[in-house]
Amino acid sequence: MSGSFVNFNGTSILQLMSFFILMYFLIKFLYRPFLNIVDKRAKEIKDEYKKADDAHKEAEALKEKAKIELEELNERINKMYEDAKIRVNEYEKKEKVRVQSEVESLMKRARNEIEEERVKAEDTLRSNVITLAVALASRIIQKDLNEKSKREFLMEQLSRIRDEM
């Protein structure tokens, strides 16, 4: 059986049914998964952006903190340097004083020693001179005296000379 292509009949009921069947399945298998995954993707991207933003902020804060710490450290280093400088100066001064005093004491000791040596040498010289003088005198006076009496005699003579002087 055939009919005109412009018609309206029972097919429309079937078309309506088929539309709703199609819509049911497409909602189930196509639209819902599609919307879900798009939402999920959007949410994920948003989260990622937020995460990145947070990380950026955190990094920024850390950077700021590090900068402050670095400045503090620099300050401390400077201060320590200054302190060290002062301490070194003080030490230098102290050392100078100490060394000077040591040198002085050494000098003093040396001088004392020299003095002692001089005195000793003078004594030796004197005794030598005396001996020499005795020898000379014995030669001069040609007197036969024993050693002791000679010495006594000379000492006597000398004290006499000192008294006279």
Partner 1 sequence: MKTSVKFSKNEKIFLGVFFAVYAGVALWNFDKVKFPSGVGHIWQIKVPLPSILGTLNPMTIIMTAVLLVVLIYMAIDFKKHLKKIPSRKQSAIEILLSFVYDLVKDVIPAEEFVKPVFYIATTIFLFVLSSNLLGGIPGIGIGVSSKGGLKLNLFTDTWHSPTGDLNTNVTYAVMVLFISHIFAIKRKGFKQWLKEFASPNPIMLPMNIIGEIAKPISHSLRLFGNIAGGGIMVLMLSYLVKYTFVPVILWGFFGFFVGTIQAFVFSMLAIAYIGVQLEL
Site residues (vs partner 1, CB under 8 A): 1-16, 18-19, 21-23, 25-31, 33-35, 37-38, 40-41, 44
- Minimum distance of partner 1 from residue 50's CB (angstroms): 18
Rounded distance between C-alpha atoms, residue 76 and residue 89, angstroms: 20
Alpha-carbon separation of residue 156 from 126, 141, 149 (angstroms):
16, 15, 10
- Minimum distance of partner 1 from residue 26's CB (angstroms): 5
Rounded distance between C-alpha atoms, residue 134 and residue 100, angstroms: 49
How many other CB atoms sit within 10 Å of the CB of residue 95? 10
Closer to partner 1 by CB, 38 or 88: give it: 38
- Minimum distance of partner 1 from residue 43's CB (angstroms): 11
- Minimum distance of partner 1 from residue 23's CB (angstroms): 4
Closer to partner 1 by CB, 44 or 90: give it: 44
Closer to partner 1 by CB, 21 or 141: give it: 21
Closer to partner 1 by CB, 1 or 165: give it: 1
- Minimum distance of partner 1 from residue 32's CB (angstroms): 9
Closer to partner 1 by CB, 33 or 82: give it: 33
DSSP conformation letters of 71-127? HHHHHHHHHHHHHHHHHHHHHHHHHHHHHHHHHHHHHHHHHHHHHHHHHHHHHHHHH
> Is the CB of residue 150 less than 8 Å from the CB of residue 134?
yes
Q: How far is CA 81 from the centre of its chain?
A: 8
